[in-house]
Amino acid sequence: MTQDKKQESLISEKRLLTLAKKNQQEALSQIHDRYYPQIWRYVCFRLQDTHSCEDIVSEVFYRFLKTLKTKKHTIKNLQAWLFGTTHHVVMDHWRKKYRKPETDLNQDLPITNEESTEQETEKTIRLENVKLLMKDLSEDYQQVLTLRFVNGFSLEETAKTMHKSVGAVKVLQYRAVQSLRKELGQQGWLNE
């Protein structure tokens, strides 16, 4: 993204936020349309339950609207606020889940193409394994990996969202990847 486009995007984000604070419906709609897909991807990567994902994304936008109505809170960077809030709501979900275990319903899906199904299954197993291993990482490691690799955030965007320097994000990302690589190697996933 060129510097002009970044500046234009930043200006339009600030303008949208200003209009949203005035409860302008078009601005609220544009914010929702712009950020919903990114927040959805972030949440779905962290959770496997579609209903929980829907609830969490809804909660993020509810909190956004609630924050706009209060005079105490100010949102300076819309993207950083939304993803910071998303991270906190996801972590709240995990805390609640540890207190109250859930059981998944077994849903048998019909197999249509054996070869593609086998490849998809392998891919799904690998992804699920990475997700499970990520749960053992620190919150910062989980957040940096999700923002950078699932949502495709730049280093600068990740740094703003996490309220850290770009250098700190680079170090966190490196250490998180090394931790995952070590665990995957120990489980034999990297030798295949």
Q: Delineate the domains of the chain, giving CATH numbers in brackets.
A: 1-100 (1.10.1740.10), 120-192 (1.10.10.10)
In degrees, rounded to 5, the angle at the alpha carbon of residue 16 between the alpha carbons of residues 12 and 17 is 120
Torsion angle, alpha carbons of 104, 108, 111, 114, to 10: 50
- Positions of E strands within the chain: none
- Burial profile 115-144: b = 16 or more Cβ within 10 angstroms, e = fewer: eeeeeeeeeeeeeeebeebbeebeebbbbb
Cβ within 8 Å of residue 53, ≥6 positions away: 40, 43, 44, 47
Inter-residue long-range contacts of 16-22, CB under 8 Å, 24+ positions, other chains counted: 16/78, 17/75, 17/78, 20/68, 21/68
Tokens in use for 47? 């959770």
| Per-residue DSSP letter, 163 | T
Torsion angle, alpha carbons of 119, 122, 102, 186, to 10: -170
User: Cβ atoms within 10 A of the Cβ of 75, count?
Assistant: 16
Tens digits of pLDDT across the chain (192 residues): 555 555 555 558 888 888 888 888 999 999 999 999 999 999 988 887 888 889 999 999 999 999 988 877 678 889 999 999 999 999 888 887 665 555 554 455 455 555 566 777 777 777 777 777 787 788 888 889 888 888 888 999 999 989 999 999 999 999 988 888 888 777 776 654
Cβ within 8 Å of residue 191, ≥6 positions away: 185
CB 79 within 8 A of CB 58: no
- Cα 122 from Cα 134, distance rounded (Å): 18
Backbone angles phi, psi at 111, to 5 degrees: -90, 130
Tokens in use for 107? 């849903």
